[in-house]
Amino acid sequence: MSVFEGISAKGFFHTKSSMLTVLLRSIIIFTVLVIGIRFMGKRTLGELQPYEFVIMLAVAELACIPMQDISISIFYGLVPMGVIIVLHFAITVLTAKSIKARRLLNGRPFIVIDDNGICARTLKKLNIDVNDLLASIRQQGCFSITQIKYGIIETNGAISLLKNEEAPAPNSIPVTLIVEGRYMSENMQIMGITQAQVEKVMSDNRLKLKDVLLMTADSGKVFIQPKDAKYIEVQVE
Protein backbone atom coordinates (compact mmCIF):
# COMPACT_ATOMS: atom_id res chain seq x y z
CA MET A 1 0.00 0.00 0.00
CA SER A 2 1.41 3.39 -0.99
CA VAL A 3 1.84 6.39 1.34
CA PHE A 4 -0.98 8.22 -0.44
CA GLU A 5 -3.34 5.27 -0.03
CA GLY A 6 -2.59 5.20 3.72
CA ILE A 7 -3.33 8.90 4.08
CA SER A 8 -6.56 8.45 2.12
CA ALA A 9 -7.70 5.57 4.32
CA LYS A 10 -6.82 7.50 7.47
CA GLY A 11 -8.82 10.49 6.23
CA PHE A 12 -11.72 8.21 5.36
CA PHE A 13 -11.92 6.71 8.84
CA HIS A 14 -11.56 10.16 10.42
CA THR A 15 -14.44 11.48 8.31
CA LYS A 16 -16.54 8.44 9.16
CA SER A 17 -15.85 8.93 12.87
CA SER A 18 -16.80 12.62 12.63
CA MET A 19 -20.04 11.81 10.86
CA LEU A 20 -20.90 9.24 13.53
CA THR A 21 -20.20 11.83 16.24
CA VAL A 22 -22.48 14.37 14.53
CA LEU A 23 -25.18 11.71 14.18
CA LEU A 24 -25.03 10.76 17.87
CA ARG A 25 -24.99 14.42 18.94
CA SER A 26 -28.01 15.13 16.74
CA ILE A 27 -29.97 12.23 18.25
CA ILE A 28 -29.13 13.29 21.82
CA ILE A 29 -29.98 16.96 21.23
CA PHE A 30 -33.17 16.09 19.35
CA THR A 31 -34.28 13.86 22.24
CA VAL A 32 -33.57 16.59 24.79
CA LEU A 33 -35.44 19.15 22.67
CA VAL A 34 -38.52 16.93 22.37
CA ILE A 35 -38.54 16.30 26.13
CA GLY A 36 -38.00 19.99 26.83
CA ILE A 37 -40.77 21.18 24.52
CA ARG A 38 -43.14 18.60 25.99
CA PHE A 39 -42.18 19.94 29.40
CA MET A 40 -42.95 23.49 28.25
CA GLY A 41 -46.49 22.53 27.22
CA LYS A 42 -48.55 22.09 24.06
CA ARG A 43 -48.81 25.36 22.18
CA THR A 44 -48.70 26.24 18.52
CA LEU A 45 -46.33 28.97 17.31
CA GLY A 46 -49.23 31.46 17.01
CA GLU A 47 -50.17 30.92 20.66
CA LEU A 48 -46.74 31.67 22.12
CA GLN A 49 -46.31 34.62 24.43
CA PRO A 50 -43.47 37.04 23.51
CA TYR A 51 -41.04 35.64 26.08
CA GLU A 52 -41.85 32.07 24.98
CA PHE A 53 -41.08 32.93 21.36
CA VAL A 54 -37.69 34.32 22.45
CA ILE A 55 -37.02 31.15 24.43
CA MET A 56 -37.82 28.96 21.40
CA LEU A 57 -35.40 30.96 19.24
CA ALA A 58 -32.66 30.74 21.87
CA VAL A 59 -33.12 26.99 22.33
CA ALA A 60 -33.00 26.42 18.56
CA GLU A 61 -29.75 28.40 18.28
CA LEU A 62 -28.16 26.55 21.21
CA ALA A 63 -29.15 23.21 19.69
CA CYS A 64 -27.46 24.00 16.37
CA ILE A 65 -24.05 24.96 17.74
CA PRO A 66 -22.91 21.60 19.23
CA MET A 67 -24.45 19.68 16.32
CA GLN A 68 -22.48 21.63 13.70
CA ASP A 69 -19.16 22.01 15.52
CA ILE A 70 -17.88 18.76 17.07
CA SER A 71 -14.92 20.59 18.59
CA ILE A 72 -17.38 22.10 21.08
CA SER A 73 -18.44 19.89 23.96
CA ILE A 74 -22.08 18.79 23.70
CA PHE A 75 -22.60 19.94 27.27
CA TYR A 76 -22.05 23.55 26.16
CA GLY A 77 -25.35 23.16 24.30
CA LEU A 78 -27.27 20.88 26.67
CA VAL A 79 -26.61 22.84 29.87
CA PRO A 80 -27.84 26.25 28.55
CA MET A 81 -30.85 24.50 26.98
CA GLY A 82 -31.70 22.93 30.32
CA VAL A 83 -31.32 26.28 32.09
CA ILE A 84 -33.65 27.98 29.61
CA ILE A 85 -36.29 25.24 29.93
CA VAL A 86 -36.19 25.50 33.72
CA LEU A 87 -36.33 29.29 33.42
CA HIS A 88 -39.45 28.97 31.25
CA PHE A 89 -41.08 26.82 33.91
CA ALA A 90 -40.21 29.36 36.62
CA ILE A 91 -41.60 32.26 34.57
CA THR A 92 -44.80 30.32 33.84
CA VAL A 93 -45.35 29.74 37.56
CA LEU A 94 -44.56 33.37 38.34
CA THR A 95 -46.97 34.76 35.72
CA ALA A 96 -49.69 32.39 36.96
CA LYS A 97 -49.39 33.74 40.49
CA SER A 98 -48.61 37.42 39.85
CA ILE A 99 -50.79 39.75 37.77
CA LYS A 100 -48.05 42.39 37.65
CA ALA A 101 -45.49 39.88 36.36
CA ARG A 102 -47.98 38.60 33.79
CA ARG A 103 -48.65 42.11 32.48
CA LEU A 104 -44.94 42.91 32.41
CA LEU A 105 -43.95 39.80 30.46
CA ASN A 106 -47.08 39.08 28.41
CA GLY A 107 -48.64 42.50 28.06
CA ARG A 108 -52.43 42.84 28.12
CA PRO A 109 -55.28 42.46 25.62
CA PHE A 110 -56.41 45.54 23.65
CA ILE A 111 -59.80 46.29 22.12
CA VAL A 112 -59.22 47.24 18.47
CA ILE A 113 -62.86 47.11 17.29
CA ASP A 114 -65.86 48.34 19.28
CA ASP A 115 -69.30 49.87 18.67
CA ASN A 116 -67.68 52.79 16.86
CA GLY A 117 -65.67 50.53 14.55
CA ILE A 118 -61.89 50.40 14.32
CA CYS A 119 -59.94 52.09 17.14
CA ALA A 120 -57.26 54.01 15.24
CA ARG A 121 -55.33 55.03 18.36
CA THR A 122 -55.08 51.44 19.58
CA LEU A 123 -53.86 50.25 16.19
CA LYS A 124 -51.17 52.90 16.25
CA LYS A 125 -50.15 51.95 19.79
CA LEU A 126 -49.85 48.29 18.81
CA ASN A 127 -48.13 49.14 15.50
CA ILE A 128 -50.75 47.18 13.54
CA ASP A 129 -51.56 48.03 9.93
CA VAL A 130 -55.23 48.31 8.88
CA ASN A 131 -54.66 45.78 6.10
CA ASP A 132 -53.26 43.28 8.61
CA LEU A 133 -56.33 43.79 10.80
CA LEU A 134 -58.67 43.20 7.85
CA ALA A 135 -56.77 40.04 6.92
CA SER A 136 -57.09 38.74 10.49
CA ILE A 137 -60.87 39.26 10.65
CA ARG A 138 -61.34 37.69 7.19
CA GLN A 139 -59.61 34.56 8.48
CA GLN A 140 -62.43 34.31 11.02
CA GLY A 141 -65.16 34.67 8.43
CA CYS A 142 -65.89 38.40 8.77
CA PHE A 143 -65.54 40.56 5.66
CA SER A 144 -67.01 43.77 7.07
CA ILE A 145 -66.35 45.70 10.28
CA THR A 146 -70.13 45.98 10.77
CA GLN A 147 -70.24 42.21 11.36
CA ILE A 148 -68.18 42.66 14.54
CA LYS A 149 -69.27 44.02 17.92
CA TYR A 150 -65.88 43.74 19.54
CA GLY A 151 -62.42 42.70 18.37
CA ILE A 152 -59.63 42.07 20.88
CA ILE A 153 -55.94 41.61 20.21
CA GLU A 154 -54.77 39.00 22.69
CA THR A 155 -51.37 39.01 24.38
CA ASN A 156 -50.06 36.43 21.89
CA GLY A 157 -51.04 38.60 18.92
CA ALA A 158 -54.14 36.60 17.92
CA ILE A 159 -57.47 38.39 17.45
CA SER A 160 -60.70 37.33 19.17
CA LEU A 161 -64.04 38.49 17.78
CA LEU A 162 -67.50 38.90 19.25
CA LYS A 163 -69.65 38.87 16.12
CA ASN A 164 -72.73 40.98 15.53
CA GLU A 165 -75.24 38.31 14.60
CA GLU A 166 -77.80 40.91 13.53
CA ALA A 167 -75.54 42.49 10.92
CA PRO A 168 -76.08 41.13 7.40
CA ALA A 169 -73.10 39.70 5.56
CA PRO A 170 -71.95 41.76 2.56
CA ASN A 171 -73.24 40.60 -0.84
CA SER A 172 -69.72 40.73 -2.23
CA ILE A 173 -66.18 41.06 -0.94
CA PRO A 174 -65.63 44.68 0.13
CA VAL A 175 -62.90 46.44 -1.85
CA THR A 176 -60.73 49.03 -0.11
CA LEU A 177 -60.86 52.51 -1.66
CA ILE A 178 -58.96 54.42 1.04
CA VAL A 179 -56.57 53.03 3.65
CA GLU A 180 -55.06 55.31 6.29
CA GLY A 181 -55.59 58.47 4.25
CA ARG A 182 -54.33 57.03 0.94
CA TYR A 183 -56.30 56.31 -2.22
CA MET A 184 -56.22 52.75 -3.54
CA SER A 185 -56.30 53.78 -7.21
CA GLU A 186 -56.02 50.25 -8.59
CA ASN A 187 -58.99 49.08 -6.54
CA MET A 188 -61.01 52.10 -7.61
CA GLN A 189 -60.43 51.19 -11.24
CA ILE A 190 -61.55 47.61 -10.58
CA MET A 191 -64.78 48.88 -9.01
CA GLY A 192 -65.30 51.46 -11.77
CA ILE A 193 -65.26 54.28 -9.22
CA THR A 194 -63.60 57.61 -9.90
CA GLN A 195 -61.68 59.70 -7.39
CA ALA A 196 -64.26 62.46 -7.87
CA GLN A 197 -67.02 60.09 -6.71
CA VAL A 198 -65.04 59.12 -3.65
CA GLU A 199 -64.34 62.77 -2.84
CA LYS A 200 -68.07 63.56 -3.15
CA VAL A 201 -68.93 60.82 -0.63
CA MET A 202 -66.34 62.25 1.77
CA SER A 203 -67.58 65.80 1.20
CA ASP A 204 -71.20 64.77 1.85
CA ASN A 205 -70.08 63.37 5.20
CA ARG A 206 -67.86 66.36 6.00
CA LEU A 207 -64.66 64.35 5.81
CA LYS A 208 -61.27 64.97 4.26
CA LEU A 209 -58.88 62.35 2.95
CA LYS A 210 -56.59 62.66 5.98
CA ASP A 211 -59.55 61.98 8.29
CA VAL A 212 -60.41 58.60 6.74
CA LEU A 213 -58.86 55.49 8.24
CA LEU A 214 -60.70 53.08 5.95
CA MET A 215 -63.21 53.24 3.13
CA THR A 216 -64.56 50.15 1.40
CA ALA A 217 -67.26 49.53 -1.20
CA ASP A 218 -69.41 46.54 -2.06
CA SER A 219 -72.69 46.16 -4.00
CA GLY A 220 -73.79 49.77 -3.82
CA LYS A 221 -72.78 50.25 -0.18
CA VAL A 222 -69.84 52.30 1.07
CA PHE A 223 -68.30 51.84 4.51
CA ILE A 224 -66.33 54.77 5.95
CA GLN A 225 -64.27 54.57 9.12
CA PRO A 226 -63.12 58.02 10.28
CA LYS A 227 -60.02 58.08 12.45
CA ASP A 228 -61.73 59.60 15.49
CA ALA A 229 -65.45 58.92 15.05
CA LYS A 230 -68.04 56.18 14.57
CA TYR A 231 -68.13 54.42 11.22
CA ILE A 232 -70.58 55.49 8.52
CA GLU A 233 -72.49 53.36 6.01
CA VAL A 234 -73.65 55.04 2.83
CA GLN A 235 -75.93 53.65 0.13
CA VAL A 236 -74.83 54.70 -3.35
CA GLU A 237 -76.25 54.05 -6.78
pLDDT digits (tens, 9 = 90+) for 112-167: 999 999 999 999 988 889 999 999 999 999 999 999 999 999 887 889 999 998 88
pLDDT at 195 over 60: yes
E strand or H helix that includes residue 218: strand 212-218
Bridging pattern class, strands 221-226 and 212-218: antiparallel
Give the model's pLDDT for residue 82: 79
Mapping DSSP to helix (H, G, I), strand (E, B) and coil, where does residue 226 land?
strand
Q: Where in the chain is the domain with CATH 3.30.240.20?
A: 110-235
**Digit-coded pLDDT (tens) for 62-89:** 777 776 677 777 777 777 777 877 887 8
Give the model's pLDDT for residue 3: 45
Q: Which fold has domain 110-235?
A: CRO Repressor (3.30.240)
**Digit-coded pLDDT (tens) for 5-61:** 544 555 544 455 666 776 777 777 777 766 766 666 555 445 566 667 777 777 777
Residue 92: pLDDT band by 50, 70, 90 thresholds? Answer: confident
Sequence-distant (≥ 6) Cβ neighbours of residue 120 within 8 angstroms: 213, 227, 228
pLDDT at 213 over 50: yes
Are 215 and 223 a contacting pair, CB within 8 Å? yes
Mean pLDDT across the stretch 169-185?
Answer: 91
Give the model's pLDDT for residue 48: 66
